[in-house]
Chain A
Amino acid sequence: GENVEQHPSTLSVQEGDSAVIKCTYSDSASNYFPWYKQELGKGPQLIIDIRSNVGEKKDQRIAVTLNKTAKHFSLHITETQPEDSAVYFCAASSMDSSYKLIFGSGTRLLVRP
């Protein structure tokens, strides 16, 4: 079955710097790759997603890139702010798997003021 690996598990950056979180997936049938942000005491919130027919997508300070050949995708956060501190999860899904989301193990991002 699908397996998603996420790195790093923790990431500490200075406010204003960029942060990059990387994920790899195993199932070549995966075609949907969402990223979720989880703040303390809250459920995961979708921040950006990308489908397999697109290589890159941007939304203000957040961008996601997808390399289908290498089966990896990355989240890029520029000009980080303290409120970006949270746990971030990548996930992969395919129609073949009844849309089940397979999650990475999460990255705890700390943005130091």
Chain B
Amino acid sequence: EAQVTQNPRYLITVTGKKLTVTCSQNMNHEYMSWYRQDPGLGLRQIYYSMNVEVTDKGDVPEGYKVSRKEKRNFPLILESPSPNQTSLYFCASRPLGRGNQPQHFGDGTRLSIL
């Protein structure tokens, strides 16, 4: 089954304790992206990647890092989490080429930073 898998689904942690949210897709998509969803703000892009070793900032990149060492994986790293990063996070992927194509989303990771 074609899917985007995120782990963990839920995490409660404390300020300053480094954490990584993993994202994996099995559709051989070149493009991957991270979004955060906050009430009344929709989804905002944090970082995206057009292919292996190619990453770029989205609209709200501060406090986050990403890496793209393999095509299928795109982890989101919070080196020193703060309470304002408490949010619902989604990873997405899509193929490149032939213009715009739909993005496929994971089921989300709810992070609470105390």
Contacts and interface: CB of A to CB of B under 8 A. Distances in A.
Interface string B50-68: 1000001011000000000
Chain A to chain B: the 7 pairs with minimum beta-carbon distance, closest first: A43-B105, A32-B100, A103-B42, A103-B43, A46-B102, A105-B42, A43-B107
Q: Which of A9, A36, A94 has the most CB of B within 10 A?
A: A36
7 contacts: A45-B105, A46-B102, A95-B100, A101-B45, A103-B42, A105-B42, A106-B42
A31 B100 contact: yes
B-side interface mostly: strand
A98 B4 contact: no
A89 B105 CA distance: 13
Contacts of A105: 40-42
B48 to A, nearest CB: 7
Interface of B: 4, 31, 33, 35, 40-45, 48, 50, 56, 58-59, 90, 92, 94, 96, 99-100, 102-108
A94 to B, nearest CB: 8
B33 to A, nearest CB: 8
Contacts of A112: none
A34 B94 CA distance: 13
A44 B102 contact: no
A24 B41 CA distance: 15
A12 to B, nearest CB: 18
A97 to B, nearest CB: 10
